[in-house]
Structures are given as C-alpha cells and as structure tokens.
C-alpha cells in the first residue's frame, strides 16, 4: 500500500510536469485517483472524528466571520475586559470588566489566588505589554493628566489608580467602583490596549506609586462581548 502510494504520487508529479513518459491513459487514471481521495486522506481513508471536528470548526469560524461584519466597530465597544494572568510566579487569576455607564466607567474586578486576608494595589498601567514575567513591560501607571499618585477617594490622581483589592480568607477579592476619569475606546483617557496590574502589597497612596511592590497579576484590556448577548459573558 505504502509503495503504491509513493509510486502514485510520483507518477502524478511526472504527469503534471508534462513529461509524458508514461502512457497517457495511465497518467489520467493516476490524476483521477489522486483527486478522488483529496476530500478524505492521502491514503484514501475516511476522515477521522478529529478531522471532521476540525472541518466543523472551520465552518463555524467562517460563519462567525460572516457575523463579524455586522458587529459594531471596536471604537463603539460598550464593555472591555482584562483576563488577569499570574505574574512573578504567583497564582493570581481573574477578570476585570469595564462597562460604559453615564458619566464614567463602572469597574468590576474578580480576582482569585491571592494570599488570604491581604490587600493588593490594582492599577491600570500604560502599556498592554505583559510579556515580561514580572510584568514590568506594562510600564508605569496610566497617568494622562500628570497628577500625583493617590487612592480613588482623591479626585486628582493617576487615571489608572484603582485603589486596592481586599482578599477574603480564601484569597478571593471583588472590587466594584465607578470612575469618571477613564473612557473605554474614545475620549480623553481611553484604556483599551493598556494593562491591569495587581500588586503584591497594599497601595498606601504614597508617592510615587503607592509602595505596592512586585506585580503579581497582569492582563491586557481588550474588547468584551456585551453581557446581554453573549454566552461567555453570561458564564462569568
């Protein structure tokens, strides 16, 4: 079987090159045999379950691409999300949602893998580059207004100053706040494409960046599916 397959492809190649050293009818037969098996596998076997799934997935991708044409432009996104991944060897994971509301942005962070009963600074940093294992590649605090660092109680602060996460006894933390000094994708202080950073220690509001220590979680802020019409959003 193997030998004949090799010979078939060799003959097909020769036929395609136009070198009619084999009888023409033979070459045509070989080409026909090759094309009739192209839909399955080179050895003529039927597609495996995995291959059929891949075909179905491709089909689904094509359908989704069709739908994408009707999706709003990314500048019109009403919700952004940062999926938080561990940094500096931590186990920190979670998500931070940013929702456009009248007069500002509503932020909801749900983070796990923190030290029990601990407090952690959380900021938006300038760059959406979290390639460094310690997340230093995300740069400094997002501070478009060039204010001093502060906690959210102070109106004049870095736009990226979101205060602290407070972890419970299981190391989980939820933070909800609405801020007026950020925008999603338009306006003066858009955050799309920047990064959320979770710090090792509490942000004490001190200069220049709150003494919050190493970066233990990081995520890039990207476009989220709107909650009302997304299965993924509903499962959050």
Q: Which residues bind Cu ion (CB under 5 A)?
A: 123, 197
* Nearer to Cu ion among residue 213 and residue 226 (C-beta): 213
Least distance between Cu ion and beta carbon 197 (Å): 4
Least distance between Cu ion and beta carbon 164 (Å): 11
Instruction: Just list the catalytic residues.
Output: 123, 125, 141, 149, 158, 161, 199, 215
Q: Which residues contact 157 (CB under 8 A, 6 or more apart)?
A: 147, 148, 149, 150, 151, 181
* Nearer to Cu ion among residue 191 and residue 197 (C-beta): 197
End-to-end CA distance of the chain: 52
* Nearer to Cu ion among residue 159 and residue 197 (C-beta): 197
How far is 36 from 118, CA to CA, in rounded Å?
65
Q: Which residues contact 163 (CB under 8 A, 6 or more apart)?
A: 121, 122, 151, 152, 175, 177, 203
* Helix/strand number for the chain, H first, E second: 4, 8
The answer to whether 148 and 44 have CB atoms below 8 angstroms apart is: no
Least distance between Cu ion and beta carbon 218 (Å): 10
* Peptide bond preceding 208 in cis form (omega within 30 of 0): yes
Shortest Cβ contact with Cu ion: which residue?
Answer: 123
SS3 of residue 140 by DSSP: coil
Least distance between Cu ion and beta carbon 168 (Å): 22
CA 212, 213, 217 angle in degrees (round to 5)? 90
* Nearer to Cu ion among residue 100 and residue 123 (C-beta): 123
Q: Which residues contact 192 (CB under 8 A, 6 or more apart)?
A: 74, 77, 80, 184, 185, 221, 222, 223
Least distance between Cu ion and beta carbon 61 (Å): 37
Exposure of 193 in the CB half-sphere (CA atoms within 13 A):
6
* Nearer to Cu ion among residue 119 and residue 123 (C-beta): 123
Type and span of the H or E element at 16: helix 2-16
């Amino acid at each position: 079987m193997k030998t004949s397959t090799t010979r078939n492809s060799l003959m097909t190649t020769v036929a395609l090159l136009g070198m009619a050293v084999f009888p023409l009818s033979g070459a045509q037969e070989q080409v026909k045999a090759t094309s009739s098996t192209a839909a399955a596998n080179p050895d003529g076997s039927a597609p495996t379950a995995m291959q059929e799934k891949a075909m179905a997935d491709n089909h689904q991708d094509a359908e989704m691409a069709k739908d994408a044409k009707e999706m709003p432009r990314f500048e019109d996104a009403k919700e952004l999300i940062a999926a938080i991944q561990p940094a500096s060897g931590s186990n920190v994971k979670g998500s931070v949602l940013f929702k456009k509301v009248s007069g500002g942005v509503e932020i909801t962070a749900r983070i796990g893998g923190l030290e029990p009963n601990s407090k952690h600074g959380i900021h938006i940093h300038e760059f959406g580059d979290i390639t460094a294992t310690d997340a230093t590649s995300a740069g400094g605090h997002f501070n478009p207004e060039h204010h001093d660092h502060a906690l959210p109680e102070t109106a004049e602060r870095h736009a990226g100053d979101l205060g602290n996460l407070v972890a419970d006894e299981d190391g989980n933390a939820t933070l909800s706040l609405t801020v007026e000094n950020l925008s999603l994708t338009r306006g003066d202080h858009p955050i799309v494409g920047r990064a959320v950073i979770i710090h090792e220690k509490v942000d004490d509001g001190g200069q220049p960046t709150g003494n919050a220590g190493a970066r233990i979680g990081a995520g890039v802020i990207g476009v989220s599916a709107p909650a009302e019409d997304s299965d993924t959003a509903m499962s959050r």
